[in-house]
Each structure stands twice: as structure tokens, then as C-alpha cells.
Structure 1
Amino acid sequence: MGYVEAGGYDRDMSYIDDRVVADPTGDRRWPVAAGRYRLVGSRACPWAHRAIITRRLTGLDVGPEETGPAPLSLGLCGPTHDWKSWTFDLDPDSVDPVLGVGRLRDCYLHRYADYPKGITVPALVEIGSKAVVTNDFRTMVTDLATEWAPLHRPGAPDLYPAGLQAEIDAMADVNFRTVNNGVYRCGFAGDQASYEEAFAALFSRLDELEEHLADRRYLVGDHLTLADVYLFATLVRFDHVYHGHFKCNRNRIAEMPNLWGYLRDLFQTPGFGDTVNLDQIKQHYYRVHTDINPTGVVAVGPDPAAFYTPHDRDRLGGTPFHNAAGDATAPAAPRPEDVRDGDEAGAFV
């Protein structure tokens, strides 16, 4: 996640960049196959949250037959971890029931015995070998939305439509630099000048997004796309964590009418709010980042009930789910095996 260091915060963006694709021709390419891989994430981590949402929206938790095992199963790590690894604290005996490991680090070492970098989520793990295939959240999420299409559920939305890909990529890129990673650049800045530079870029972009969303329901086009998935993972954490913990405190998202309505609209859409666990999110940030919060005291507010208040965003037109066939539908409720203690229906916030 990062730690305070001298100067500006510089995220290490080098990952295991293998990909799981429909046509695995070429180096570092693995074939899409039902039941072969397990997505390991955490409800605490925004980068993993993107993959968890995309899996739900596209139906990789149910598959084309909507019965039987999920084409892509889900392992969930607990909200806190030590320097070594994310751990499976939410499962019986703190062991993932499919992979049979207690630490995600084990899966990295099954791939590389001397893996030198941080143990990150999301990670796609090959179940048979218990080895990480990729932890590159950038290509992983796009591939789940596109390359995995043969295993999507009936009525799955197209989150990355061909005619909008350039616009989605451009939107995602600037939002990543200024907002998604921008909050970390504020929180982990090692000097005043670096913090103020990141702070200015963050709120300048939020002001632009506030204006952008004044007359449109979604970021790109008339329906949900990956651009919305990416921004949601940051916005839903903003008032509860980033505003105070990362000193992103010019204002809350709840004080920006268009962004706040947009966030509530997404939260109330199946596949978004039902993947959020604010308790785990706050436990992670306030207890793991001991250099920022050495007491480990976890903030109590704000009241999450606000996410359920009316948003009136449907007046802007557009619909959440769309695909080329015109038969896109919302995902069903989460599968029982994807629910852990603390995730029960009604307890996500």
C-alpha cells in the first residue's frame, strides 16, 4: 500500500504482468478456463475492489449456465496484515478453503521462490499449482471484462465497449494519476511541498469531475463502464478514510452534490454497494498504516446510512447496464460462498 517516505510518494507499478486471455498465444499468456483460477482479494483494498466488482457485474461468480461452481472463485483476505503478507483471517482456521494456504505470500513463493516485491491483492492464482499468475490490477480487470466473455453470465453488461475504449482509457488514466493514486500521494507524502502538490491535483480533478457529472449520469457514455468501477473504489472510501487519515480534507465527497449523487447511485446499484465492507476498509487503513496512525485507533464515522438516501440521478437519462444484444441485466445477489463473517446481507456497511 505504501509508507511515508522522504519527498513525494512513488507507487511501485511493476507487477507480475502475465495475462489470462482467450487466445493464449505468446509468452506469459494463460488460457481462460472455468475453475482453473481463484481471484484473491480483500474488501479493504481499492485495487482488489475493482476486480471484485467486475467479477460480480460480469457474472464470473455464476457463469454462462448460472448453476454449479463459479467460473472464477473468490478468496478473501482479512483487512489487516503484517509486513509479510495478506492473510485469510476470515476463513475457518485462517486457511483459504480452496488454496489451502494461510498467507497469500505462499502463492507468490510457489511462483517465484525468491519473490522480492510486496505481496499485493488482487492476485489471480492457479488453483492446481497454488501459484500466482498475475497481480497486475490494470490488465487483470480489463481482461475479466473482455477476455473472459465466454464465461460471463447471460445478460452481462459490456463494461469496455469497443467504441468507447479510448475515452474510457483516457478517463481512467487521469483519474488514476490524480484521484485513485492521488489520495495515496497525499497520505504518504514525506514533506509539505509534495503533500500540497498532490492535494492541489486531487481537488482540481474532483472539481472537474463534479462539473463533468452535472449533466450526465456516468463518466463515459450512457451506461456503466470500467471508468465508473475504477472511480467508485476510491470515492466510496473517501469520506470514511481518505478525508481524515490521508489529510484529503478540503471537503468531503458528501459536500459535492454531483459526485455525492453519483456515488450514491453507484452504491445502490447491484454489484457495487454489496461488495463494500466499510468496517474492514477502516480496520485496514487505520491499523495497518502505523506510521500515519501509530495509536491504531479506528475512526467511527461518518454514518454509512447516507449511502442509501435518494440520489435522483436517473433524471439525467442512461441506464446502468448495457450490452450489444440489448439484454443486459443486473447481477444476482452474492453467492453464499462469497460471503464471510462480517459480510452477511445488510452488514456490508
Structure 2
Amino acid sequence: MSEDQVSGGNTGYVNPTGEFRRDQRYIETRITADGRDGYPVEPGRYRLVVSRACPWANRAIIVRRLLGLEPVLSMGVCGPTHDERSWTFDLDPGGRDPVLGIERLQEAFFARVPGYDRGITVPAIVDVTTGQVVTNDFPQMTIDLSLEWTRFHRPGAPQLYPEHLREEIDAVNRDVFRDVNNGVYRAGFAGDQQAYQRAHDRLFARLDALSERLEGRRYLVGDTITEADVRLFTTLARFDPVYHGHFKCNRSKLSEMPVLSAYFRDLYQTPGFGDATDVVHIKQHYYVVHRDINPTGIVPAGPDLAGWLEPHGREALGGRPFGDGTPPPPPVGGEVVPDGHRPRAA
């Protein structure tokens, strides 16, 4: 794999030891309440650009919806596949984003940094007034939606990054990113058997540890949904449809790990999670784009995911999904995952 190989919306390369390394050089400009980086929080000024296929973008979609930021932060949705240049707006009429007027996300990056030579990644937030990308720093992006956009949160919005839990959330997120979120990619894009085995073993050791952590508690940190749950959820949602086979993460399916499977079903059935997850786009992306792994581009018909809708029984552990808040309302018009793109009950 060359250094400009696109994987899951992010660039990466295989180093001399056979290990996949993700390029994490993002545009780190922040949109803040005080505008200290030159980009103050303003309703209607920015557009969140995503692909429902990408796990990092899926996080931003979920957080935006849980916090109720739809009226003040519009969202553009790219198609599930892309070429070596960038994500495209092929789902929109004429193949152009109706707000930004561009065909490729690359155009917004080049408007900010001519000849930008790093990954053209989603999620990205674009300044509508200039057409320039502001940031694609996805880990910071969702934190800032929680902390910097509070003035525009919906009534009843949950606290996804509460101050008294931040240290613990950060510690969990570090482990989950290293071994799970990015761990599946390290297994899938490993350049030799030894690198693959290391990544595979580390992934499942962490999943086993998470199972132990979640056996007696409903959520990863505290007794409500937090940023940590959002970050783990988007990888678990792709595990059986993609990572188990496509990335050779096949010691066990998620459905064969009882605690994690029930935890995932609990979140999937929570408003804001399952209704923001598009399985068709997920499968199309990985199996079509990653031709190094799947040369034919054939998208598997399975697996049957009706089990995602089965009872999870985790209410018995207590906890309140939204704390003192309330569930988000249904998705706004134009942002509903299409019929047939989510599992249906058997």
C-alpha cells in the first residue's frame, strides 16, 4: 500500500515492519465560542460534510443529532465511495453539494490550502461564506460540538463530555482508538503475517477487556451515554458487516460476544444511533474502495443483521441514556437513512 492509499476516508501507509500507520496530520483549526482561531460559533455559517460510510464521520452525525444542532449546523452527505482524489457529492442532483456548490470535498481543502497534500477526509467542517474547510480534526470536532456549541444545543441535550468524567473518558478513548477504532485497520491493512497477528491479538484483547468492563455497567463511563460510547459504537456497527471478513478480524463476530453484542444493541436501539447508521453505504464503501483487499469490488449480500433489533436486556443494569435530558426527535427531513439501508426485524 502506497502512502497515498485511502483507507476508510483517511490516508495511511505500511511501514517497513509491515504495520499500517494512519496519517493523523489534520487541519486543527477550531470553531469556538470565543472565535480565538478566527472561526466563532455562528448559526448557519458552517457546513458539516460527512459520508455515512465512514466511522469517524458517523460519530459527528450522531453527536450533532444527539445535541440537536441540525438547525444551526447544516450537513452535506457524500456518497459511500471515492477515488484517489477525494469524496464526491454524487448523491446530490447534478453531483454538487447544494450549499457549497462543489463536486468534490477536495475543492474546499484546496480553497483553504492550495495543493493540500494530506488526506481529504470526512468529517470536515466547511465555512460556507468562504468555501474553505475549517477543520477535519475529527477527535476534537465532536468534543467542540459538545463544549463550544452549548448555546445552540436543544433543550434536553445530553452531556456527552461532562467535566467530572473527562479524564476517564479520555483514557477510555485512547485505548479504544489505539486497539479498536484504528486496530481493525491495522489488522486489515497489515503488510505481513506478523503485523496482522499483532493487530488481531491486540484488538481482541481490548474487546475482551471492554466486555469485562461492560458486564456490570450499562455504559463505558458513568451511568449515561458519553463521547466514549459514541466512539466505540461506530466501530462495532461495522464489525460484522465489514471488519470480521474484509479486515480478517475473525476470531469472533460481534454477535458471538454476548456482552458487547447486547451493549451494541442497546445503543443501536437508542434514538440518534441506529437511525444515523447506513449499513448499505458502509458495505459499499469498504468492499468497493479497498481494491487492494477486495479486487473484484463485489459487495457481500450478508450478514443478516436482524439481530440488532432483538431485546438487549441491559436496562437491568440501571443507567439513564440521556441523564437528565431527553431523546432527540426523529431525523429532520432529508437526513433520514433510506428504507432498506437498515436491518429490519425478522
Measured against the shorter chain, the TM-score band is over 0.9
Unaligned runs of 5+ in 1: 62-69
Q: TM-score, normalised by structure 1?
A: 0.93
In structure 2, C-alpha distance between the alignment counterparts of 1:148 and 1:223, rounded to whole Å? 20
Offset of residue 338 of structure 1:
2.0
In structure 2, C-alpha distance between the alignment counterparts of 1:3 and 1:82, rounded to whole Å? 15
- Is 1:178 aligned with 2:216? no
In structure 2, C-alpha distance between the alignment counterparts of 1:193 and 1:44, rounded to whole Å? 29
Matched residue of 1:38: which SS? strand
Aligned length: 332
Q: Structure 2 residue aligned with 1:10, among 12, 21, 24? A: 21
In structure 1, C-alpha distance between the alignment counterparts of 2:226 and 2:68, rounded to whole Å? 15
In structure 1, C-alpha distance between the alignment counterparts of 2:267 and 2:38, rounded to whole Å? 33
**Matched residue type, 2:57:** A
Aligned to 1:58: 67
In structure 2, C-alpha distance between the alignment counterparts of 1:254 and 1:179, rounded to whole Å? 16
Aligned to 1:338: 335
Matched residue of 2:102: which SS? coil
What percent identity do the matched residue pairs reach?
57
Offset of residue 302 of structure 1:
1.3
1:297-318, Cα deviation, whole Å (9 max, x unpaired):
1111111211100000100000
Matched residue of 1:10: which SS? strand
Name the Cα RMSD after superposition.
Answer: 1.1
Aligned to 1:41: 50
Aligned to 2:78: 77
1:97-134, Cα deviation, whole Å (9 max, x unpaired):
11111110111011111111121000000011111000
CA contact (8 A) 1:182 1:201 kept: yes
CA contact (8 A) 2:13 2:22 kept: no
Offset of residue 345 of structure 1:
5.2
Aligned to 1:348: 342
CA contact (8 A) 1:22 1:148 kept: yes
**Matched residue type, 2:342:** F
Unaligned runs of 5+ in 2: 1-6
Question: Aligned pair in 2 of structure 1 residues 71, 252: CA closer, same or farther (>3 Å)?
Answer: same
In structure 1, C-alpha distance between the alignment counterparts of 2:52 and 2:227, rounded to whole Å? 18
CA contact (8 A) 1:4 1:189 kept: no
Aligned to 2:108: 107
Matched residue of 1:31: which SS? coil
Q: TM-score, normalised by structure 2?
A: 0.94
In structure 2, C-alpha distance between the alignment counterparts of 1:238 and 1:157, rounded to whole Å? 27
In structure 2, C-alpha distance between the alignment counterparts of 1:196 and 1:347, rounded to whole Å? 33
Aligned to 1:294: 295
In structure 1, C-alpha distance between the alignment counterparts of 2:96 and 2:160, rounded to whole Å? 33
- Is 1:23 aligned with 2:34? yes
Offset of residue 348 of structure 1:
3.3
Offset of residue 347 of structure 1:
3.7
In structure 1, C-alpha distance between the alignment counterparts of 2:153 and 2:114, rounded to whole Å? 34
1:169-209, Cα deviation, whole Å (9 max, x unpaired):
00000000000000000001001111111111100000001
Matched residue of 1:200: which SS? helix
Matched residue of 2:267: which SS? helix
**Matched residue type, 1:169:** D
In structure 2, C-alpha distance between the alignment counterparts of 1:99 and 1:293, rounded to whole Å? 33
Offset of residue 47 of structure 1:
0.5
CA contact (8 A) 1:264 1:307 kept: yes
CA contact (8 A) 1:3 1:289 kept: no
**Matched residue type, 1:54:** V
Matched residue of 1:244: which SS? helix
Aligned to 1:98: 99
1:236-285, Cα deviation, whole Å (9 max, x unpaired):
10011000000000001111111000000000000000011101000000
1:61-82, Cα deviation, whole Å (9 max, x unpaired):
1xxxxxxxx1000100000010
Equivalent runs, 1:1-349 vs 2, <5 Å: 1=7, 2=11, 5=14, 7-25=18-36, 28-61=37-70, 70-322=71-323, 326=324, 328-339=325-336, 343-344=337-338, 347-349=341-343
